Structure formats: structure tokens, C-alpha cells
Structure 1
């Protein structure tokens, strides 16, 4: 968020942060997307007003029920690449989702994943070998048939190409068997993937990993024609990398590439020979707009069929929610819009948690408890985010929590120790006074936040509450990169951050509640807490995480072990007050009533293929 309070979308942040690979959790997502309802994959911004651009005054086009061709008009933000292994941002991913297919897919961005180019698959008894049978007759957009050898080439590119931004997904997350050089880099050609025959593809992983099929559904695992570019050993390439990544990407998805003008627009058209459900629309056009006010004006001028609404323009009284399904998705209508039209609405809880974290070596436990007692998550969601989020009492989101949303709520209502949907200032004062603090001798606590109007409002609410609990909270606002540097160096007391996780399972969240990975002595950071490991609570959390890592296979028995251990880690985090959950983001989409787009899932709208969208 900039100094004007402008929100960026989740997609924009991922452009800078997701290079570590989608199979790794991303720190600081709240640094660019918070405010609820942002990042639904259809626009670029959801925050305060800024000066409009020419795009904000465009005359009515073919979108918004204005007639014209059956092209779905959307709004996107700046893209980086059309190469599946080179695109590390969700803006690019929204386009590559349409152009490329892999073995598996998120159906409408939802869980569970399903085969797409694969006809079926088998796993070995030890869950380490995956054998996929491919559909016959699937063609790339250049007319060539997709075979198992194309997947061997595509996975080798993901692991070994200098253009790959997602190597960790295949080499670390799934951990396909491979060799490394003396410097620890991937040894070209050593990946344990094989074309058994034209329509049988086999892959061996180092150890069982239950989310394997989910990770394989991400765009970077898509099929590209063997030898299309020569950026790995043994291939000269049929075209230059620049051509493939910017002006001639060839995939096997429901739409084929038409045009990308950087910073202006991108388009795809229906692929008539698609092997799946053929598109009902002629194509998809994205106008690239970075300014939130211009984006809103563009949508209100009916140039976009589906869009987001900036928080500054959002009026909760205009939202009518007709129901919530078993995935926690809210459906309804919004309006009247500024132009008098009524919009269809969907709000989908994302795989995210926005939280306040503590340097536990620097901040006494009674102080951390006082902050927890003072925080009312429901108030923050209502007053700051206009109900465009879900109050967070666990790290894990409701749809992924063991037992689902109902179990999430029940466990929090019955067990959350700091007041469920309420502020307990008497308890905050009690723990501080027992620790020796008073109104005349308060505890001084620095709250480090990034440039964010909404986090500033949240911090101010908390500061006002804590004054009566003998805590003098000072707020330091910093550019996100500078703030993250302080956090990584443990040069902070209390801070604001978020994680957006890459697969839909509790362990993807609670891995960030592992005390053994929370300080400078850890080989890799999973959290920024400096959580002392010599306490009973910390050992309970560490033991629970070890049970998760020892039971990684997809069997029901192991899944139950992981679920129970995840709840143990959530409760340990409550007891220690390492991280204080604040809210889970709701990703929203508004659409004019001339277009029907199936509801998307928790994976996000940018993972949704649009071949089932229809237009009147």
C-alpha cells in the first residue's frame, strides 16, 4: 500500500515475492494486499483513490452488457512472462492458466484437484512413484500431439532452466529424485522423470508428500512442446526464448495466445480443438491497469464484465448475500453501482492468514498476552476492512482447518483464551499488573508495520485499547522491504505480516508455528519469532511438527495424525502468543449480469480456467 492508502492486489505482491516457488509459503503478503476482497484475480488494486488515467475515462466498450463480441473483458495488472516456468506472479498466471494445461488442474480454482491432460494416475505402495496415463489425441496449439516426452522436457525446464523462477517447487517441495553438483545446484538430466511410452509418464519423489497432486496442478508444471526453446542441455530450440515468453507461447489449454502489449493489454482466443470442455466464449481480453481509481472508472464505464471494487468505493449496505456454500463461499448481489447497474457477487476465503508477530526474546509473555486480550478480531474486520475478511483465531483458514469451518468456529469459541469476538481489557490489565507494570510505569512496545492505511488503523485501535492496560504502544511505519529486513534480522519487537500458502492443507499453515524454525540459528526461517525452544509449550509444538513430517503420505491414517498435530500447534501458539492471527482475506469478484462465470475456489480466481464462462 502506498502513502495514499492504495491497496495492491495479491497478484501484484506475488510478482515480487513468489520467485521462491509456489510450493513455499510466502512472507509478507499483507505488504501489498489487505483490506479484504482484494486479489480476486480480476483487477489490479483495491484501495484508496489516486489520480485517474486515460483508462479511467474510456468510453463504453463491449463489456458490461454493452453488446459486441462474446469476448470476456477483464482487468489485470502488470505481467512478467508467458512462460509457465518463468512467470512468478499471479497476473501472468491468470493468462497462462488459459493457455497451458498440465497433468492435473484446480477445477475452477478449487480443491480437490482433478486430472486434465492425465486420463488417470496410480501411486506405488510407498507413495513415492507416480504413474500418469495421458489422454490420447491431445494437441498443442501448433497442432502437435502432447506425449509423455513433452512432460519430461517441461519438468526438466522447470528444474534446470536458467529462466525458471520456480525450481524449488519440483526440487524441494515435491522433491523429485535428482542429483546435485558440487556447488549444490541441480545436475542437468538427473531428474527422475520418464516417458515409459508415448502416453505413460512416471515420476519418482524422494519421500511421500501428500500434496503432490496439488502442487503438480500449478501452472509451472504445464506441458510445453518438447524442444520449443533451447534453454536446457540437449535442445537448440525451435524459437528464441524471448519469442516464446512474450509473443508466441504454445500450450494445450482451452485458449490460444493472441496478443500481449506490456503495460496495456493481453488477449487469448478460444482453441477449437481443445481436448476438454470447449470454450463457450470467443476469447478473453485483459486491460492492464495499475491505478485503483482508473480501474474502478473503467469498470463503471462498463468496459469490464467482471472486476473488483476498491475498499474506498465499497459500500457494505449495497451487498446482499443470499447464501454461503459448504466451501465458505458467499454468493449474492451488489448494487446499485455508480452507473445504476446491479452486479453479481462472490466472496471466497483465500489460503491466507494476516497476523501480528512477536520477537519473543524481546517482548515479555505478559505483554504479548495483554495485546491478545486487547485485540478484538471481529471489530478490526468490521471497522477497518468493512467485513471483507474473516476474523482469524487460528493460523489455518476455516475451509482448511481439520473438520472444516464449523470445527474452526467451535474450537475457537470454546478454547480461544483471549476472548472470542470480544476485548478483555480487565484481563490485559491483570497480567500487566501481575508483571509489575502500572499506569505510571507502563511497558513501552514498538509495533512495526509496513506502509498500509489499514494496518495503521488497526494499530491505532490497538494502541488506544492498550493505554488502559499499562502498555504504551508506539507505531513505526516503514516501506515493506525495509520492514521485512528488520524482521528477518530480528531487529523488532512486534510486527505485521501474512502468509499465503501454496496448498490446501493445515500443515502448509502450521509449518510457520514451528519454534525450531523461528530464529537466526535455524537453517531456514519458517517464522520470525525467536521462539525459545527450552519451554514445554515449544517442545509440544516441535513434537507435533515432527509427527507431521513423519506422516507425509496421503493415507487416511497419516492425514488424521497431521490434522491432530496441527491443532496441537495452533493451541501451542495460543499459549505462547508467538503469532496473533487477525484475519483471513476474502477474495471477491463482482460481475455484470450479462456474464456467467462459475464460482472459483480457495486456490484463487487466477487459477480458474475460463472455458466454462458464458455471456448473454
Structure 2
């Protein structure tokens, strides 16, 4: 076991801290209760004997105890999964933020901002007196350095977000690689940051609100040109992260727990909590036992333990969030409930160079998304036939449903085993020579049950599927090396628009073993007709990014074309869209989170009753 510890002074604080989180890659996810592709981080727990929510005077403070499924890094440009994001959200602030994970986004370190008439220059005025956890003031130079790290550091997993997604003006070399220190991010003065982008991009402020755009002190690490670093990178990323968020880092014991403390010099609402602690647990039974033993103040209930008959939804608010109660649970108590449709899609991905097209199509014919959602996920999600969620799809939920029902080629709400079998026999497979397919999943009973349903169906189509379980970090390692055939993953997208989903269906950015921007893990060959259609459609989106009605319509049309290209080549097979849920005991008060997800919620809005 490795311990990452930063000695900090415990402080008495006076404002509010929060709960809850979720897990996925920065874009990519996997959580258990709703079948995501990364482990979940949307509850909390502590080890036996940890005291919860006590304070000697001045109202109740204490430590909020949650459960997290994993933690990969404390560096915001490297922590590209939602579980890690649940922690880094507490430690770091950027120019903008998702207030409680909601849209529209709001200024946080920025005090104000303005855009040029052509929507290509953003000028942000910073608050004065905002301090990092090391006591230094946040200035425009810190943002210039932080954004350079995002674009140029070898530790950055999300350089595409600043270079391609927002498209900040920059230079490239002969191999189309970013030229260091060429980013058009300027410190006009100590409290003014100017960002110039290549062309208008409607969701710029939403993307700037994500954790990878957070401020860190200029020169804190030496992983970009011109800086030697005040500390070694591994120290910053694992035991001494320095941000300007509402909580400061305490300690991280790999595979055990991570904890943060309230920052009493925070520039916003100071947390009322003393801190937040996440117990790291992947096993469903262990998660449930922690929650039922009341070691967790807020938590998720694994699907295997979830009884829909105990759920009472009292209200659905104007944002589509479901509020109610659940219980009685095993310990006899009735807990509070919140269910939120989020910006997510969970899918079966294929290494397209390793799995031939008839096999991928046969798997699609065999899969009945409705059955999986009903039988495995107990209706804790929506069957997925597109990457885009029903609320984001052009035409909304009605357009989503009609397009899928009329055009999905592999059976809408049904399994088509005869078609699957015919494809495999035409490809030369049969009872005596079945195709061997490994399905790699993270440690999740729901994905395991999904795999078993699919495995049993595919047996009659001459596909012999084996299910391999791995810790989420190990799964990601294999996927990034393309040492896989098929795997379970998911995306929680970084802004609320169609292009945020379909950028993960761009064949030109689908090879994680290659250099350059990576948006998916497929090695999708670019010489197929469908791949060319997807690339052309993505180019149409990229060339029409302005916040105008005409450009929005062109982006919407191209997004649907990319969905249909994915159907044709079966790069990724959508399974379901998550309804993210939080359960919590009465002793804690937590603001409801929004469509952005729990992992984007800062916890300086929670308190103990």
C-alpha cells in the first residue's frame, strides 16, 4: 500500500461543504449502479469507527464520508476519470464552474468576462485576493502556465480539449504536434486573461469550466518548457496538489482512502464541513455494507442490492431531477433519494483491428438494450441506441426515439439472433469453429450480468464469449494499449451539446496507440465508407461552431450522420444512458446536483443537520 500524505493544519471553518461524486473518464466513465464504464464515486464511506458529522460548538461540522471506486491522479490535467474528478473538483478552481454540477456555468475565479463581436476572443477579469492553498495569490500568469501544461505537458491526458475542442490559437510543427509556448493565452495584466480561439465555439465557457482548465501555481512543476518546478511531478500529482478550491489535500492511501480538509481562506463560500473523506471500494457488497453500517453519509446502492419497490419519487423538478425517499434499507432506516439524468453514454467498445465487422454486427444484433436496462439495471437508466442522450439529441426525446425505432439496423428493443447467426455463418463460422471473443469489464456485477446475458445469446450465433474482470485502472491500461477485443466503458461528456458526444465517434481520433488527439479507443479504420462519412460530418461540425441558429442546425445534422456511421461500422455499441443517483441519511444536507453529474459538484454547499 502506498501512502501519499501532506501534513496540514486542521482548521475550524464556517461555510459549507458537499457530498457525492461520480466516476468516469474525462469524457469516459464507468460506474456500478448505472452501468458506467468506470467505477463509481458517488457515495462515501469510512472505515469502522470513523466519527461522522460532529462539532463541539457553532453548529455541526465534521467530516463528510463518501465512497469512491478509484483514484488515478490528483493532477487536474491527468485525472481524466470522474472518480478522480470528484476529488480534484474540491481542490481546484478555474475561471468558470458548474454550480453544483448544473448548467449554465458561472464565473468562479473570474469576476467577469466579455467576448469579441466575432466570438473568437474571450477576456476574463479575475477576482483579486484569491489564494492558492500555499498562500500565494492567483494571477493571470498562473492561468497562462496552467493552460500551457494542459496543451504541452506529457502528463496531460486532455490536450485535445484546449487545442482542438475549444481550438485556442497555436502553432504546430511539421508533424502537426503542438509547438510549446505558442498558445494564444495572454496575461494582459495581473488580473486579466485573454484567450483567442481559431473560430467561434458555442460551448467555450462550459468547456473552460471543466477540471483540466483549473489554475495551479505558475512553475509548481517542471513538465513544460521554461520551468524547473518547485517540486517533482509525482509529489504534486500524488501527495501535494496545490489548487485554489474550497478544500485542501490531506492524504491519499492508494486503494484505501483519500481525504481533504476545508480551506478557511477560500475565496467563495467557505465549507461548513471540516473535510471530506472517500473510502476507496470497488466491490459491490463492500460498498453496500459500508453504507448500511452508516460509515457513509451519502452513497450509491449497487444494482444487485437495489429494490425498485422501495423507491418513492415524490417530485420531479423542472430540470428533470427526481426527488424522493428509499427504504427501509437493511438497517431499518429510510434514506433520501435523488435521481438525475446526466450527460452520459455507456457502451461496449471494440478494437476494430482485432474484431472483424461481422462479429461486431452479430453482437449488436444479439444485444437487446431494453432487456439489459430492465433486467440488469432495474430501470436505473435509459436504453441507448445513440451516443447522444435523449435530452441532447436533435428533436429531443421524441426525435431520439423515432430515429432509433425507424432506422436502428440491429433491432429496436429486440434481439435478432437469426440475423446474428447468418452473419457469422457467412463469415465462415459455425458450431465446430466458433469465434472466440474476450469481453473485458471492470469489477462490476451489473456489467458482469450484462456480459452473461450477451454471452448466452451469442452462443447460438457461433460466438464463444469469455468475460474477464479487471480493476478499472487495469482495464484502462489495456484499453489504451488496445490490448483488448471488446470492453465496457462509458463517457460523461464535458458540455451539453450533440458535438460533445459525437466527437467520440470520430475515426480520425480513435487510435490511443498513435500520437495526436485521442477521443475514443477503437482503431477505427478510416478507409471505410462509414468512417469517411463520420470524418466528413465531424469536419462539418468543426467548421460551423458559432453560437448561431444556422451553425447549430448544421452541427445537429452532422451529429446524426456520425451516429449512423457508428451504426454502420459498429465501432461502439451503445447500451444505456445513466440516471445518476444519490442516497443519503437525514443527518447530512446536500444540494441537488445537476446534469453535469455529481463529480462536478463542489462540496462547499453541504452541511450536517
Cα deviation 1:516-535 (Å, max 9, x = unaligned): 66789998774637568554
Q: Tell me the SS of whatever aligns to 2:467.
A: strand
Distance 2:197 2:382 in 1: 37
Indicate which of 559, 562, 576 corresponds to 1:566.
Answer: 559
Segments of structure 2 that go 5 or more residues without pairing to the other structure are: 1-19
* Kept after mapping to 2: 8 A contact 1:134/1:199: yes
Distance 1:173 1:233 in 2: 23
Q: Tell me the SS of whatever aligns to 2:198.
A: coil
Shift of 1:391: 0.9
- Aligned pairs for 1:87-126 within 5 A: 87-126=79-118
* TM-score (ref. length: structure 1): 0.78
Distance 2:72 2:152 in 1: 20
Which is worse superposed, 286-295 or 241-250?
Answer: 241-250
Indicate which of 572, 592, 601 corresponds to 2:594.
Answer: 601
Distance 1:356 1:495 in 2: 6
Does the C-alpha gap of structure 1 residues 471 and 424 become closer, same or farther in structure 2, counting only changes over 3 Å? closer
Indicate which of 487, 500, 518 corresponds to 1:508.
Answer: 500
Cα deviation 1:478-501 (Å, max 9, x = unaligned): 466689869976985x66554444
Distance 1:112 1:211 in 2: 10
Shift of 1:116: 1.3
Q: What is the alpha-carbon root mean square deviation over aligned residues?
A: 4.3
Shift of 1:199: 2.4
Distance 2:168 2:162 in 1: 6
Shift of 1:380: 0.9
Distance 2:328 2:559 in 1: 43
Indicate which of 270, 274, 277 corresponds to 1:283.
Answer: 274
User: Residue 262 in 1 paired to residue 256 in 2?
Assistant: no
Does the C-alpha gap of structure 1 residues 268 and 456 become closer, same or farther in structure 2, counting only changes over 3 Å? closer
Does the C-alpha gap of structure 1 residues 207 and 596 become closer, same or farther in structure 2, counting only changes over 3 Å? same
Distance 2:206 2:242 in 1: 23
* Kept after mapping to 1: 8 A contact 2:365/2:411: yes
Cα deviation 1:412-464 (Å, max 9, x = unaligned): 345445443344567768x769x879999899444430146544533443454
Does the C-alpha gap of structure 1 residues 437 and 232 become closer, same or farther in structure 2, counting only changes over 3 Å? closer
Distance 1:372 1:235 in 2: 50
- Aligned pairs for 1:444-593 within 5 A: 444-451=434-441, 453-465=445-457, 471-478=461-468, 497-514=489-506, 526=520, 528=522, 533=527, 535=529, 540-574=533-567, 579-593=572-586
Q: Tell me the SS of whatever aligns to 1:101.
A: coil
Distance 2:187 2:324 in 1: 47
Distance 1:111 1:166 in 2: 22
* Kept after mapping to 2: 8 A contact 1:62/1:68: no
1:297 maps to what in 2? 289
- Aligned pairs for 1:45-444 within 5 A: 58-59=48-49, 61-63=51-53, 69-77=61-69, 79-141=71-133, 144-161=136-153, 164=156, 166-179=158-171, 187-228=179-220, 232=224, 245=237, 249-255=241-247, 257=248, 259-263=250-254, 265-279=257-271, 281-290=272-281, 292=283, 293-325=285-317, 327-356=319-348, 359=352, 371-423=363-415, 444=434
Shift of 1:241: 5.7
* TM-score (ref. length: structure 2): 0.79
Distance 2:483 2:156 in 1: 31
Does the C-alpha gap of structure 1 residues 80 and 200 become closer, same or farther in structure 2, counting only changes over 3 Å? same
Distance 2:71 2:55 in 1: 27
Does the C-alpha gap of structure 1 residues 432 and 284 become closer, same or farther in structure 2, counting only changes over 3 Å? same
Distance 2:348 2:384 in 1: 11
Does the C-alpha gap of structure 1 residues 103 and 68 become closer, same or farther in structure 2, counting only changes over 3 Å? closer
Shift of 1:592: 0.7
Distance 1:346 1:515 in 2: 37
* Kept after mapping to 1: 8 A contact 2:259/2:275: yes
1:610 maps to what in 2? 603
Distance 1:145 1:447 in 2: 55
Shift of 1:196: 1.3
Distance 1:287 1:201 in 2: 35
Q: Tell me the SS of whatever aligns to 2:462.
A: strand
Q: Tell me the SS of whatever aligns to 1:471.
A: coil
Segments of structure 1 that go 5 or more residues without pairing to the other structure are: 1-8, 46-54
Cα deviation 1:241-293 (Å, max 9, x = unaligned): 666555554433233x26214245544444444433343x2332214333534
Distance 2:203 2:71 in 1: 28
Shift of 1:80: 4.9
